[in-house]
Chain A
Amino acid sequence: MYATRARQARPEPFAVHPGIAERLGLPYMDGTLALSAAALAVFSVFVLAQATLHDVPGDPYYYADRQGLYAALGIVGMYLLTRIDYSRFRELRVGIYTFLCVSISLVFVFGFAARGSRRSFELPFFSFQPSELGKLLLVLALAGFVIDGARSGSDWQRTVRYLCLGLAPAALVFLQPDLGTALVFGAITLAVMYVGGVRWTHFAVIGAALVAVTAIVLVAAPAVGTPILKGYQAQRLTSFLNPSADPSDAGYQQNQAKIAIGSGGKTGRGNRATQTRLDFVPERHTDFIFAVIGERYGFMGAALVLSLYALLIWRALRIVTLSKNSYGTLVAGGIAAMLLFQVFVNVGMNLGIMPITGIPLPLMSYGGSSVLATFLAIGVLQSIHMQARLSQRGRFAW
């Protein structure tokens, strides 16, 4: 009797009248990816609510409220992108690339200057930083160019072309100046080229060139009197190697962040935290939010957050392998590299093993542009996942 009823209740795999979940496309999405991203965003709101209570007088939840709103918008955006076939972006690559370069350039004209650099537009409700969304746009456009260019020119020509395409917007961002985001652009470019099959020998040459450029920028150029980096940038890049040398300067932030994280111990100091509560650690709601987590919630909290990022990046890499076409593989690879690079550099900076470059921790650092752009990137991953699942089934609509 039960068996009969059970059989009747089971939904048909290829239902003629699909259920709500089926209509929403949920079975075709990567649930782990979506949930880990959402968990990180929720955690971010939670941390901001606790750590920035007294930052804005009269509005204890200023940062938490806004971060929550950005995350909600981001989740909606992610879902909408899920339902669009990402392959369409390949066709739009030139438009996307043009938009990317123009929007970054416009910052120079209309940009809102903060701390000596123009990075964002002042919109009625928030200041929009095009270079954040630009990371995703660069992935989408560059992957398209790589697929497209696979048929023309020699290997070297193609390598140089990809490099130029990637480094042009990176240079624009660098001039804002925003060294951190420029580095992310560079990492994305290299990752897309890597997944796109650029030869190992080419990478070896690029690697050698990178070493040479670094040496010129940090050592040779200042020596002959034409520094390329601004003084504070060079200092930040090198001070992590010797953070205690000058506690009142560039090394100071890093040292304070390290003390904050270390003082959290195994289980954290909660509201008795002092390093991140009493302004010893600067930029605690953005660049140094990981230090807040480390001090407040200790190794348990910080390791949980790191694990969520590991989960996120594992799912992204998995999607690289699932993709139904090469464009999807390149896009997923670029996004995975983008996430990995930002997480490693930001957390490494908090832990004192990477230079201070002003790269936000995706989904965790306060900032609408970054949160939105990251969710959109995850939306693109979901789209790749969904298209792959649909194509495996031999059907692509319901």
Chain B
Amino acid sequence: MYLRSDERGPAMNNRLALRIAIFGGFAVVLFVILFFRLWLLQVLDGEKYLAEAKNNRTRSYRVSAPRGEILDRSGKALVTNRTSLALQVNPRKLPADPTRRRVELAQLAELTHSTPRHLRRTMRKELTLAPAAPVTLRSDVGHYLVYYLQENQDRFPGVEVQTVFVRDYPDGTLAAHILGNVGEISEAQLKEQQYRGLQPGDKIGQEGVEYTYDRYLRGKPGLTRVQVDALGEPTPNGRLVSMPPAPGDSLKLSIDGKVQEAGEAALAERGLPGGFITMDVHSGEILGLGSFPTFEPDTFTRPLTQNQVDEFIRNPAAPLTDRAIAGLYPTGSTFKPITAIAALESGKLSIGEVINDPGQLVVGEQTFKNAGEAANGSVDLVSALEVSSDVFFYTLGLRMWDSGELQHWAHELGIGRPTGIDLPGGEEGLLPSKHWRDQLYKEGGTERPWSEGDNVQLATGQGDLQTNPLQMAVAYATLANGGTVVTPHVGLQIDDPAGRVLKEFDPKPRRHVRIDPEYRAAIMEGLHDAAQNGAGTSFDVFGSFPIPVAGKTGTAQREGHLDQSWYGVLAPYPNPRIVTFVTMEEGGFGAESAAPAAKKILEAYFAGRLAKEAAPEGGKG
């Protein structure tokens, strides 16, 4: 039954045997190659490939950390966090079919009040920055939209909703300019040293203390490493390491909520663009600082629409500008105490020296008149400050016109130079000087060199002077504390999330200037009389104020505008603790707009003392 070959006999011959031997040798060579290669990969390079394999299978996801809270000096929260729902799209999970993809994007655009083109552009932009990450289409979406998407999940493949933290402002616009806002890190910022380790899409402080103290407030994002398959999808039970996010530390500001509120309310009440600052004259702690018009910081927790951006840019009142630190105005008579210090210290004036004020001063071809063309007769320093005699200070300006002493002292007191404040966006301003104008003239920027008239104007805070309430407050504080140029600041301390104090801010004074106590006393007396003596320029406002103060009005002529109203006040007299400066664009006389606002701020600051003093009287009545 078994078949067998019909060709019998030896099949092998020598030639065939040789061929088989070569065949066998060839096979041996091939196997040697395979074994050698296997040995190379696994035994010699095994470690390297193991590392590659481990790197292959993990993906890290960042979990954003809530930013630290920002508190006022009493510990009341000015900025907290709330959770918000962000709509994200994972482009890899969108339908591959172009038609379905287009339909889904169109639906998403409709739901998010956007256009498909805009969505596509957002996705492209984000993908070039972070290729594997889901793209946030819209943050802070409403719950109704989230429910809708969840119920129709199969219609929206690739769409995810993620909880993110956004800033919350319990007091609305309060301290908006100080607080600033938070926004996504820009490409340029990513390259900066201070933002090392951050990634595209991370949020950082962009303005205000959010910017200055960002490294404390920011916190540390958590990291979740998950095992993924080749498609980048997390595998079940594939969580490898999980580092929870570390919330940011909280920042306590020196801001006194009551003072801040009163200042903002006073500005808003008058309704003119302006700014105010209240500062401790010894430490430089800012108790209140504000600007009008203001804005809703909450606006910046959502992506701005083009309309909103346009409005901010086009609005002539520039609500985003902090006029207290970035305003550039002549100061009017509030500059006079600085002129007085310069004249006294440089020996161009002595205490008690009487100058006749006939109502005007003629310098060459120019005639400089008192405001209101009043003639104050013979005045000394104290009375000149009280009645705000322009001619008195014109004379001082004339005496120092090319000596540079006025500029030297104004510069020492901080006019026209950086203050060192811990808020971004401040302006240095301009302190006009002979050197400056002569240089400008040489370059063809003006038609005349420095002249007597320039210094006469500067002596009364007019002319080319450009400064702001912050610099003036620092100058007044230096006068009040006897010569210490403080560093103004709003940051007080950093607390960790458990409430432990991590860091206290007490910036060193910028410098010290020697002001003779006698001169100081005389100037303070003049300022006190200006506020609370019968003939004083702001007697109508502060005459009945129960706490002794020293205050100076300012009415600055500004080209193209009505007069700018200024008021600077030190309280209590004679040893002031605080300085308050208020300015209002087109507010008219200092006593008309700025002084009443300053009074409201002082009322808020001294509220406790005022109530105590009022109570016995009320009991008697």
A197-B16, A299-B42 known; A278-B23 Cβ under 8 A: no
Are the CB atoms of B50 and A325 closer together than 8 Å? Answer: no
Are the CB atoms of B49 and A262 closer together than 8 Å? Answer: yes
Are the CB atoms of B41 and A351 closer together than 8 Å? Answer: yes
The bracket for how many chain A residues form the interface is 35 or more
Q: Closest residue of chain A to B47, judged by CB?
A: A265
Of the candidates B5, B8, B48, B52, the one having the most CB atoms from chain A within 10 angstroms of its own CB is B5
Of the candidates A194, A262, A327, A391, the one having the most CB atoms from chain B within 10 angstroms of its own CB is A262
- Which parts of A301-335 form the interface with B (CB within 8 Å)? 302-303, 306, 309-310, 313-314, 317, 320-321, 323-329, 333
Assess whether A259 is interfacial by the CB under 8 Å rule: yes
Assess whether A88 is interfacial by the CB under 8 Å rule: yes
Q: Across the interface, which residues of A come within 8 angstroms of B230, CB to CB?
A: 256, 278-280, 282
Q: Across the interface, which residues of B come within 8 angstroms of A3, CB to CB?
A: none
Q: Across the interface, which residues of B come within 8 angstroms of A298, CB to CB?
A: 42
Assess whether A71 is interfacial by the CB under 8 Å rule: no
Q: Across the interface, which residues of A come within 8 angstroms of B56, CB to CB?
A: 256, 259, 274-275, 280
Assess whether A266 is interfacial by the CB under 8 Å rule: yes
Q: Across the interface, which residues of A come within 8 angstroms of B48, CB to CB?
A: 262
Are the CB atoms of B57 and A351 closer together than 8 Å? Answer: no
Please report the C-alpha to C-alpha distance between residue A266 and residue B4 in the assembled complex, in whole angstroms.
49
Are the CB atoms of A320 and B20 closer together than 8 Å? Answer: yes
Q: Across the interface, which residues of B come within 8 angstroms of A256, CB to CB?
A: 56, 230
Are the CB atoms of B17 and A321 closer together than 8 Å? Answer: yes
Which of A84, A194, A262, A295 meets B3, CB within 8 Å? A84
Of the candidates A265, A337, A353, A387, the one having the most CB atoms from chain B within 10 angstroms of its own CB is A265
Please report the C-alpha to C-alpha distance between residue A38 and residue B30 in the assembled complex, in whole angstroms.
23
Which of A258, A269, A337, A387 meets B5, CB within 8 Å? A387
Please report the C-alpha to C-alpha distance between residue A303 and residue B31 in the assembled complex, in whole angstroms.
10
Q: Across the interface, which residues of B come within 8 angstroms of A326, CB to CB?
A: 7, 11
Which of A259, A302, A336 meets B38, CB within 8 Å? A302
Please report the C-alpha to C-alpha distance between residue A340 and residue B28 in the assembled complex, in whole angstroms.
10
Are the CB atoms of A327 and B5 closer together than 8 Å? Answer: yes
Are the CB atoms of A197 and B15 closer together than 8 Å? Answer: yes
A262-B46, A278-B235 known; A351-B38 Cβ under 8 A: yes
Assess whether A205 is interfacial by the CB under 8 Å rule: no
Contact with A along B1-29 (1 / 0, CB 8 A): 11111111101100111011001100100
Assess whether B231 is interfacial by the CB under 8 Å rule: yes
Shortest CB distance B291–A (Å): 54
A87-B3, A195-B23, A263-B50 known; A325-B37 Cβ under 8 A: no
Contact with B along A165-182 (1 / 0, CB 8 A): 000000000000000000
Q: Across the interface, which residues of A come within 8 angstroms of B7, CB to CB?
A: 87, 325-327
Q: Across the interface, which residues of A come within 8 angstroms of B46, CB to CB?
A: 262-266, 299
Assess whether B441 is interfacial by the CB under 8 Å rule: no
Are the CB atoms of A397 and B27 closer together than 8 Å? Answer: no
Assess whether A294 is interfacial by the CB under 8 Å rule: yes
Please report the C-alpha to C-alpha distance between residue A193 and residue B518 in the assembled complex, in whole angstroms.
121
Q: Across the interface, which residues of A come within 8 angstroms of B300, CB to CB?
A: none
Q: Across the interface, which residues of B come within 8 angstroms of A295, CB to CB?
A: 53
Which of A85, A266, A327 meets B2, CB within 8 Å? A85
Are the CB atoms of A278 and B229 closer together than 8 Å? Answer: yes
Assess whether A344 is interfacial by the CB under 8 Å rule: yes
Assess whether B61 is interfacial by the CB under 8 Å rule: no
Assess whether B505 is interfacial by the CB under 8 Å rule: no
Assess whether B33 is interfacial by the CB under 8 Å rule: yes
Assess whether B54 is interfacial by the CB under 8 Å rule: yes
Please report the C-alpha to C-alpha distance between residue A219 and residue B2 in the assembled complex, in whole angstroms.
54
Assess whether B227 is interfacial by the CB under 8 Å rule: yes
Q: Across the interface, which residues of B come within 8 angstroms of A274, CB to CB?
A: 53-54, 56-57, 227
Contact with A along B249-282 (1 / 0, CB 8 A): 0000000000000000000000000000000000
Assess whether B39 is interfacial by the CB under 8 Å rule: yes
Are the CB atoms of A87 and B4 closer together than 8 Å? Answer: yes
Assess whether A83 is interfacial by the CB under 8 Å rule: yes
Assess whether A396 is interfacial by the CB under 8 Å rule: yes
- Which parts of B468-502 form the interface with A (CB within 8 Å)? none
Are the CB atoms of A348 and B34 closer together than 8 Å? Answer: yes
Are the CB atoms of A333 and B41 closer together than 8 Å? Answer: no
Please report the C-alpha to C-alpha distance between residue A336 and residue B47 in the assembled complex, in whole angstroms.
36
Are the CB atoms of A261 and B5 closer together than 8 Å? Answer: no
Are the CB atoms of B5 and A324 closer together than 8 Å? Answer: yes
Which of B4, B5, B16, B42 meets A262, CB within 8 Å? B42
Which of B6, B49, B228, B229 meets A259, CB within 8 Å? B49
Assess whether A390 is interfacial by the CB under 8 Å rule: yes
Are the CB atoms of A261 and B42 closer together than 8 Å? Answer: yes
Shortest CB distance A396–B (Å): 5
- Which parts of A378-398 form the interface with B (CB within 8 Å)? 387, 390-391, 396-397
Shortest CB distance B36–A (Å): 10
Assess whether B309 is interfacial by the CB under 8 Å rule: no
Assess whether A347 is interfacial by the CB under 8 Å rule: yes
Please report the C-alpha to C-alpha distance between residue A274 and residue B2 in the assembled complex, in whole angstroms.
53
Please report the C-alpha to C-alpha distance between residue A295 and residue B12 in the assembled complex, in whole angstroms.
43
Q: Closest residue of chain A to B1, judged by CB?
A: A397
Shortest CB distance B489–A (Å): 53
Are the CB atoms of A344 and B52 closer together than 8 Å? Answer: no
Assess whether A260 is interfacial by the CB under 8 Å rule: yes
Assess whether B43 is interfacial by the CB under 8 Å rule: yes
Please report the C-alpha to C-alpha distance between residue A274 and residue B52 in the assembled complex, in whole angstroms.
11
Q: Closest residue of chain B to A341, judged by CB?
A: B30
Are the CB atoms of B19 and A275 closer together than 8 Å? Answer: no
Q: Across the interface, which residues of A come within 8 angstroms of B50, CB to CB?
A: 262-263, 265, 269
Shortest CB distance B294–A (Å): 52
Q: Across the interface, which residues of B come within 8 angstroms of A314, CB to CB?
A: 24, 27
Please report the C-alpha to C-alpha distance between residue A260 and residue B37 in the assembled complex, in whole angstroms.
14
Please report the C-alpha to C-alpha distance between residue A387 and residue B2 in the assembled complex, in whole angstroms.
10
Q: Across the interface, which residues of A come within 8 angstroms of B35, CB to CB?
A: 303, 306
Assess whether B45 is interfacial by the CB under 8 Å rule: yes
Please report the C-alpha to C-alpha distance between residue A306 and residue B17 in the assembled complex, in whole angstroms.
26
Contact with B along A270-286 (1 / 0, CB 8 A): 00001100111010000
Q: Across the interface, which residues of B come within 8 angstroms of A333, CB to CB?
A: 20, 23
Shortest CB distance A325–B (Å): 4
Q: Across the interface, which residues of A come within 8 angstroms of B2, CB to CB?
A: 83, 85, 396-397
Q: Across the interface, which residues of B come within 8 angstroms of A391, CB to CB?
A: 4-5, 8
Are the CB atoms of A258 and B41 closer together than 8 Å? Answer: yes
Q: Across the interface, which residues of A come within 8 angstroms of B33, CB to CB?
A: 344, 348, 353
Please report the C-alpha to C-alpha distance between residue A256 and residue B56 in the assembled complex, in whole angstroms.
9
Shortest CB distance B27–A (Å): 5
Q: Closest residue of chain A to B44, judged by CB?
A: A262
Please report the C-alpha to C-alpha distance between residue A275 and residue B53 in the assembled complex, in whole angstroms.
6
Q: Across the interface, which residues of A come within 8 angstroms of B43, CB to CB?
A: 265-266, 299
Of the candidates B3, B42, B50, B56, the one having the most CB atoms from chain A within 10 angstroms of its own CB is B42
Shortest CB distance A18–B (Å): 14
Are the CB atoms of A344 and B30 closer together than 8 Å? Answer: yes
- Which parts of B317-355 form the interface with A (CB within 8 Å)? none
Q: Across the interface, which residues of A come within 8 angstroms of B30, CB to CB?
A: 340, 344
Are the CB atoms of A262 and B41 closer together than 8 Å? Answer: yes
Please report the C-alpha to C-alpha distance between residue A85 and residue B5 in the assembled complex, in whole angstroms.
7
Of the candidates B11, B53, B228, the one having the most CB atoms from chain A within 10 angstroms of its own CB is B53
Please report the C-alpha to C-alpha distance between residue A298 and residue B17 in the assembled complex, in whole angstroms.
38
A87-B3, A274-B227, A279-B230 known; A317-B16 Cβ under 8 A: no
Please report the C-alpha to C-alpha distance between residue A306 and residue B41 in the assembled complex, in whole angstroms.
15
Please report the C-alpha to C-alpha distance between residue A263 and residue B51 in the assembled complex, in whole angstroms.
8
Q: Across the interface, which residues of B come within 8 angstroms of A353, CB to CB?
A: 33, 37
Please report the C-alpha to C-alpha distance between residue A391 and residue B11 in the assembled complex, in whole angstroms.
12
Please report the C-alpha to C-alpha distance between residue A314 and residue B27 in the assembled complex, in whole angstroms.
9
Q: Closest residue of chain B to A309, judged by CB?
A: B31
With contacts A256-B56, A259-B56, A321-B20 known, what are 4 further pairs, Cβ within 8 A? A259-B53, A294-B41, A303-B35, A320-B23
Q: Can you show 7 pairs from A to B with CB atoms below 8 A apart?
A: A85-B3, A87-B7, A88-B3, A256-B230, A310-B31, A321-B12, A348-B34
Closest 5 CB pairs of A and B: A262-B49, A85-B3, A265-B46, A263-B53, A87-B5
